[in-house]
């Protein structure tokens, strides 16, 4: 024979059971939603990474949404779930490309602390080259295709490009004020020359060893500061 206490849970347990079930259901729903968001974010990131790789290798015009979907391993029609058009994908690839190199340069300076102006410029060269040649198809894609694009696609990215240019201008200006570079050097042409030289490396540099980029950065710093004239 089963007692009454066995047939029915205590009053306090019975009273709070619906609340517990509701909380479990909410938690389960929340976990499910998080899993869906996580999967969605991964698919979106895969599309952007595939697009950056293709833009870097073959340019914007030659890249199709079907090619992007194939590398991202999703159905071609699914791209439109995440992006309205190829132009929207391009917009984000360009933004991330420059943002990543900008953030890498600033982080290198934050981590270094109080160092000489020459060292700050050297760190900027190193961070720029690493982002360009090692870490990010986004940065390389930005550099390679930006000049090929119509003005309407370039315009949204000009503010960030100007901010990055001004950041470098300040590096050189501070170095000139401190007497670490020549007083007769014009800052803007110097910055255009240096960043142009760094960006051009994507056309000729071969990443054949782990520290190849760091060696290139050191050689570039030496050339900028000491030139080619025999002392």
What pLDDT is recorded for position 10? 54
210 has a pLDDT exceeding 70:
no
Mean pLDDT lowest among 34-48, 84-98, 193-207, 214-228: 34-48
Mean pLDDT of the residues in the chain: 86
pLDDT band at 207 (very low <50, low <70, confident <90, very high): confident
Percent of the chain beyond pLDDT 70?
83
Distances (CA, A) of 51 to 44, 45, 90: 11, 10, 8
What pLDDT is recorded for position 117? 95
pLDDT tens, position by position, 82-140: 999 999 999 999 999 999 999 999 999 999 999 999 999 999 999 999 999 887 789 99
pLDDT tens, position by position, 39-94: 778 889 999 999 999 999 999 999 999 999 999 999 989 999 999 999 999 999 99
213 has a pLDDT exceeding 50:
yes
What pLDDT is recorded for position 22? 52
Residues 194 and 12: their CA atoms lie apart, in Å, by: 74
What pLDDT is recorded for position 24? 54
């Amino acid at each position: 024979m089963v007692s009454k206490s066995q047939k029915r849970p205590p009053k306090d347990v019975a009273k709070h059971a619906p609340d517990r079930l509701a909380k479990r259901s909410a938690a389960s729903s929340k976990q499910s939603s998080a899993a869906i968001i996580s999967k969605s974010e991964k698919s979106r990131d895969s599309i952007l990474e595939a697009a950056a790789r293709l833009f870097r290798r073959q340019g914007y015009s030659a890249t199709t949404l079907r090619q992007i979907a194939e590398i991202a391993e999703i159905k071609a029609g699914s791209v439109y779930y995440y992006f309205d058009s190829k132009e929207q994908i391009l917009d984000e690839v360009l933004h991330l490309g420059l943002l990543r190199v900008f953030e890498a340069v600033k982080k290198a300076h934050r981590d270094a602390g109080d160092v000489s102006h020459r060292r700050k410029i050297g760190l900027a060269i190193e961070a720029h080259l690493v982002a360009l040649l090692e870490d990010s198809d986004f940065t390389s894609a930005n550099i390679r295709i930006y000049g090929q694009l119509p003005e309407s696609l370039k315009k949204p990215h000009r503010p960030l490009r100007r901010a990055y240019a001004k950041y470098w201008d300040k590096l050189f200006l501070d170095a000139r004020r401190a007497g670490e570079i020549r007083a007769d050097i014009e800052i803007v042409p110097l910055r255009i020359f240096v960043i142009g030289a760094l960006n051009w490396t994507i056309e000729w540099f071969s990443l054949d060893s782990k520290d190849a980029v760091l060696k290139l950065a050191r050689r570039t710093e030496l050339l900028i500061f000491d030139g080619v004239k025999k002392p």
